[in-house]
Amino acid sequence: MDDKLTKSLQDRTDAKLRYALVHLDELKSQGPPSGNDFDRAHQESFLFHLLGARDAFLAELNHYYQAGVASDVLSLGKIRNELKKKLITSPEVATLYKIEQDESSWYCIAKDMRNYSTHIQAVPRHYFLGGENHQQVKLRNPRTGSMTERHFIIEFDEWLQKMRELIVSLRQSALLNTNPEKADK
């Protein structure tokens, strides 16, 4: 395996996680959300980079497993199909596919919101005034109609942590499965 390319792909995935954090930190620093362009732009940017980390990680999986999917058409399904043709099993691809199909998973909800805000319009929001949720904003999944249980900043914080943990875990697993001597790096 090309160590330079491996490092470059890993760096890109890690950068996307850092970029998501930049936008989340800026949202946190602004105080209560107002629904203005700053809030909405940072919300969309956070989702873009959060799922961008997943997209960058797909390039890692394509490389680790030598699936051969061209970078300009890279998708989870295409990697899965190429590995199937080669009779290769990837627990990492299976994990991503499983959480992507689970409508109740944080991953599926974040992906739905990112796709909607990228291609259609802003994710529907509910701003609370008064009561126990005063000055909180909860987001509505545009595909399912379900609303987040907590203020979107708290949700985003958790999603970023879960994405980071998911990528670290799947990266270690993929390296172990495809190149055991590199798994500890």
Q: Please state, in angstroms and as integers, the Cα–Cα distance from residue 76 to each residue in 6, 62, 97, 122, following that order.
A: 18, 9, 7, 25
User: Which pLDDT value is given to residue 83?
Assistant: 97
Predicted structure pTM score: 0.87
Q: What tens-digit pLDDT sequence spans the chain (185 residues)?
A: 688 999 999 999 999 999 999 999 998 888 766 667 787 888 889 999 999 999 999 999 999 999 999 999 999 999 999 999 999 999 999 999 999 999 889 998 888 888 767 666 667 666 656 667 666 676 777 778 787 777 788 899 999 999 999 999 999 999 999 976 654 54
* Cα–Cα distance for residue pair 133/165, rounded to 1 Å: 29
